[in-house]
Structure 1
Amino acid sequence: MKKLYSALAALLLVAGCQAKEPPTQVVYRFDDHRYLELKGWDCEGELWYTDMQKGIHSQPFFQFYRIFTKKFIHPSQRYIAIPDWEVDGFMVSKDYGKTWRPVGFAPGHNEPNGDDYAPAEDVLSFTVVNDQGFLKTKHRLYMSSKPFEDPRVLAGGPGISYKLDDGTEQVLEARSPGWAWGMVYMTKQLLEHSTQQYKTNWQGLPDKVPEVKGYTGWDHMRCDMDAGR
C-alpha cells in the first residue's frame, strides 16, 4: 500500500506540474511603455506585444516562438517588425501593433548558397527605424521599402511605364502594383531585377543600416530559461 500511495503521490505531483500556468516574462523593451512578453516554458511559446500608452495588447506569434538572439534596435513605432530565432521571415504591424501579418525575404535566390533568405548564423543585426526595417547579414543588406505607396499605382492612378531590355514598353498598373510597402524585404542587388525598382518607395535606398542615436530600448532580446521553475 505504501508503494501504491507513493506512486499516486508522484502522479499527482507530475499532473500538478503539467497543469501549472506557463510563466510570462518581458523579453524585449522598445521604450518605457512598449514591450514584448513571452508566455511559455524554456523560452518558447506565445509572443505578446503591449503599448501601454495606446492601450494595445496584441499577439504577433501564437505558439513555438523563440527569441531573436542577434542585435535588435527598434525605435520605430508605427511600423513594427519582429524576427524569430530562425530569421526566416518576420511578423509585421503597420498600425502601431494593433494587427500583424507575416512578411518574407527577397522572392529570388539571392544568398551565396542559393537561398532566398539569410541563414540564421549569417545574421548580424536587425534595425527598424523611420518605419523601415534593415536586416544586416555577413553577405547582404535586406530592407523593406520606404513607408508609403507610389501614388501612380494606387487605385485610379496612371500606372508606371517602363521598358524591357529589348525596348518593349510595359506598364506597372494600379490593379497589380506588386507588394505593399513594408511587406517584403529585398536587397538592392535583387531590386535591379524587379519591377519594384520603378516605384518611388523603392528608390534612393541606403547602402548601409542608418545610424540610430539616443535609443533607450534594449539592444538584444532577453529570456530566462528557468522562469517559472
Structure 2
Amino acid sequence: MKRLPLIVLSCLTILTACRQPQMPDTGRYTYSDMPLPNTKPALMISENWKKYNTPPQTIYIIDDHRFITLESYDNCSGETWYNDTKSGVRTRVGHTSPNGFLGKLIIDDQTGMNVVVPTVTTGSCGDRGCMNYAAYSTDGGKTFAWMRYDESNITFDSQKNSKDYTFLITSDRLYVVEGRESRAYVAYYPLVPGINLGKPYPPGIRGGSFNLSADPELLTSHRTPSGQDHYICDTSILPTNGD
C-alpha cells in the first residue's frame, strides 16, 4: 500500500472517525504490563499524565471490529487503546506518539489473538542513543507486554530510522523487518499464548532470523484486512485544555 499524500490522509482520518464502530463500555478496562524500569518514560502507563479533552482518533484499523485509538492526546501524543467491539475488549496499551513511528504495520492474524503496537522514542536520545519498544498481545488484546525490537542497533533519531522497519504479525509469529528490498534483515519471534519474549522460550518454541532475499514474497503475501499499513493521526485536532 503506497503512502498517501498528507491531505488525503487527513481526509481519511476524518472519514474513519465517522465510520468507526462504537467503542464498548464494558467496564473491563485492562491496563497492560509496564515496560522494564529503565525504559523511556514515554512508554510507561501512568495516572500522572495530563488528561486532554480531545476526541478519540482511530489511528489504525485491523478490520470491522478491531482497531487502535489515540485518546486524551495533545499533538498526537497520548493514550493508545486497543479495541475489539466483537469480544468487548478495550485495553489501554500505553502513552505513545503514533506519528513518531513512520514504518509499516501489517496485522494479518485471522485468529484475532495476536496484536503488536510498535512505538518509538520521540524525545532526545542523548549520547547513548535511544531504545525502542513494541507492545504485544497473544490473548486477543486483553493484556500487553513490551519488547525491545532494536537491540542490535544504536539510533540517535528513532523517528527517521523507523521508516526502515516493517512489523508483520501472523497467527504464530511476529516478523520485524529492518531495511528495504533485498538488503532487508528479518528477525522473527514466536507468538504463542502466554509467551514472554524477554525470557528464554519454552521447549520446542523458537525464533530466528534471515535475509529477506531468502523469502522475497514474505511481505507481499500478507496484508491487514482493512488494507491499512501505517498509523494515521491528524495533528490539527488539539485540546482546548492544553498547556
Deviation of 1:119 (Å): 5.3
Question: In the alignment, does 2:175 pair up with 1:134?
Answer: yes
Distance 2:58 2:198 in 1: 28
Deviation of 1:205 (Å): 6.5
Rate the CA distance shift 1:75–1:21 in 2: closer, same or farther, 3 A: same
1:1-229 to structure 2, matched below 5 A, reads 21-39=53-71, 40-61=73-94, 63-67=95-99, 68-76=101-109, 77-86=112-121, 88-105=132-149, 110-111=152-153, 115=154, 121-122=160-161, 123-138=164-179, 140-145=185-190, 147=192, 181=195, 183-184=197-198, 199-202=203-206, 207-208=211-212, 210-211=218-219, 212-213=221-222, 215-217=224-226, 218-228=228-238
Rate the CA distance shift 1:83–1:106 in 2: closer, same or farther, 3 A: closer
Structure showing greater Rg? 1
Secondary structure in 2 matching 1:220: coil
Deviation of 1:85 (Å): 3.1
Q: Which amino acid aligns with 1:132?
A: R
Secondary structure in 2 matching 1:201: coil
Residue deviations 1:59-97 (CA, integer Å, cap 9, x gap):
001x34334221111122212111013471111111100
Distance 2:51 2:138 in 1: 37
Distance 1:83 1:131 in 2: 18
Q: Which moved more, 1:135-144 or 1:219-228?
A: 135-144
Distance 2:135 2:188 in 1: 14
Rate the CA distance shift 1:227–1:215 in 2: closer, same or farther, 3 A: same
Secondary structure in 1 matching 2:91: strand
Q: Which amino acid aligns with 1:124?
A: Y
Deviation of 1:124 (Å): 2.9
Rate the CA distance shift 1:144–1:82 in 2: closer, same or farther, 3 A: same
Which runs of no fewer than 5 residues in structure 2 stay unpaired?
Answer: 1-49, 122-130
Distance 1:59 1:19 in 2: 14
Moved over 4 A (4+): 203-207
TM-score, normalised on structure 2?
A: 0.56
Distance 1:19 1:142 in 2: 37
TM-score, normalised on structure 1?
A: 0.59
Aligned length: 165
User: Contact 1:105–1:184 at 8 Å: present in 2 too?
Assistant: no
Rate the CA distance shift 1:225–1:146 in 2: closer, same or farther, 3 A: closer
User: Contact 2:186–2:210 at 8 Å: present in 1 too?
Assistant: no
User: Contact 2:188–2:208 at 8 Å: present in 1 too?
Assistant: no
User: Contact 1:80–1:131 at 8 Å: present in 2 too?
Assistant: no
User: Contact 1:127–1:135 at 8 Å: present in 2 too?
Assistant: yes
Rate the CA distance shift 1:215–1:106 in 2: closer, same or farther, 3 A: closer
Q: Identity of counterpart residues, as a percentage?
A: 19
